Amino acid sequence: MLQKKEYTGSWKLSGTELWYAGILRHDPYSETILALIGDESVKFDHAVQHLIVGKTMTGFLTLYGCWLNNSRTNFDVKTIDFSVEIFFVGAQYQAEADIVFNKIYFGVHNLASWVKLYSPNFPTIKGNDLDLQQQLPNNVDFEVPDNFVGKIEYGYSSETSNYPVRTVIENHVTMVLESKDKKSFGDWLKLADIFADFITFCTFSQSDILEITFIDHDLVAKSSCYGDIKWPEPVRCYYTRTARKTGLKNINPHECAVLYQDIQTHFRQIIRDWYQEYYTLVVPLYLGLRYFEEMHIISIEKFMDVAKALEVLHRKTEMVPKSEKDRVKILKKKVYDNPALTEFELQWLKEKLSSAHEPTLRDRLIHLITNFDCVFLKTLIPDVIAFSKRIADLRNLHTHYDDHDGRYQDADGPELRELTDKMIIVLLTVLLRRLDIDSSVYARNLKKKFWRLFPRT
């Protein structure tokens, strides 16, 4: 898990030759602050420092994206605080262009539970030695678009104590991404975030990147104990997750939409499709994934997010027929060519008819739900037209309806939860089908998670 860090040492700002004493304090869910210590004469010309390098007992550090936060003076000692966006432990870089790597290792929260990697069988004693007999699955290799190679590596660690006598065994699942060409740290973190979002998507629970280690094949260390043996010097990376201050929760594998064992035979193709679809469907994905951050909280904002996700998903994946566009274009021309219209009326009509060829939210929902011959969705939503109309009316009520005559009723808490849950199930179903995952794989798990929505059989 992510832990707080503290580094004490000397620090030098970019463009200067002066070193300052200071302490770097890192809280993964709060903030990262570098406190520089000096006398009253210490001044900085720029509030934003692109890079700050440091020397500590831990080794070299590079701080990226620093800006002046606060300064204070106590008893002739001046302390200047810099907020830090991201920092690297293990190397000093003089420019952003130098922060490039060939490989990244990172952990993902809930990944071990998702692949259902559990502890080994009870250990056996051979003489005075403890044999753990850990049976780990084979590593999984896959490819990511743009010539990246990925791997899921399995491992474990153990710790034995004598008083009391016990052995603690911990499983580890590490993600590895590699490229022959060097890539910037931002590109690597983006790829890691996309995989973490895949775990969130499959598990109903917010996931995140954990420990991050970069490898640069040109940055090597030499062993004095084993001759001239060289190996890549690891560079660890840390940053603050300000949007997730509450931390992360462990999942129950039985409540996931899809487990690794369900898609094991097609995992390589599915994860490749996920990376390809992610860039095209980034908006509906982010809107939909917000639902899982606090699943027990249902609000009109979440309802609007999921409705917008379905609307954008349909717009991105289902093209309006050309015949319909041509028909609307002809009708528009007839309206615009009317000589009786004033300039104001003409501009008003052009604005209102600019998206006349776009289907309504009601029509988009009907098309998404009926487009799949899925018994699972038919059971969930027996009256598709009434459901879609209710969603559209409620969305419009909170956007642009001036409902003084009471034709459109707002939703109470139970109805709002039911409508939001049904929409998120439709969104998940469409996205899973786009990854060529059959409904029989995830229907059972969705029914367990949203059991209130399905009649008992």
Whole-number pLDDT of residue 224? 47
Judged by DSSP in three states, 269 sits in helix
Say which residue the tokens 């509030």 belong to.
47
- Measured between alpha carbons, how far is 323 from 364 in angstroms, rounded to an integer? 18
Whole-number pLDDT of residue 131? 56
Whole-number pLDDT of residue 322? 52
Whole-number pLDDT of residue 51? 92
Whole-number pLDDT of residue 408? 65
Say which residue the tokens 């249902």 belong to.
298
- Measured between alpha carbons, how far is 85 from 50 in angstroms, rounded to an integer? 10
Whole-number pLDDT of residue 42? 66
What does the chain come to in residues?
A: 457
Domain ranges of the chain: 5-96, 99-258, 281-320+358-453
Within 381-412, residue ranges assigned H as helices are: 384-397
Q: What averages of pLDDT result for each successive group of 10 residues across the chain (457 residues)?
A: 88 86 91 86 74 92 91 82 94 92 92 72 52 66 87 79 69 88 93 90 82 88 55 88 60 78 89 88 81 78 90 79 64 78 79 72 88 79 91 84 62 87 89 82 79 72
Kindly report each contact of residues 429-432 with a partner whose C-beta sits within 8 Å and lies 24 or more positions away, as own/partner: 429/372, 429/374, 429/376, 429/377, 430/310, 430/313, 430/317, 430/368, 430/372, 431/201, 431/281, 431/284, 431/285, 431/288, 431/313, 432/257, 432/258
Contact 377, 369 (CB under 8 A): yes
| Fold adopted by 5-96 | Thrombin, subunit H (2.40.10)
Which residues have CB under 8 Å from 427's CB, separation 6+?
284, 288, 306, 309, 310, 313
b/e per residue, 53-77, with b = 16+ CB within 10 A? bbebeebbbbbbbbeeeeeeeeeee
CA distances from 195 to 241, 272, 279 (A): 16, 10, 13
- CA 329 from centroid of its chain's CA atoms: 41
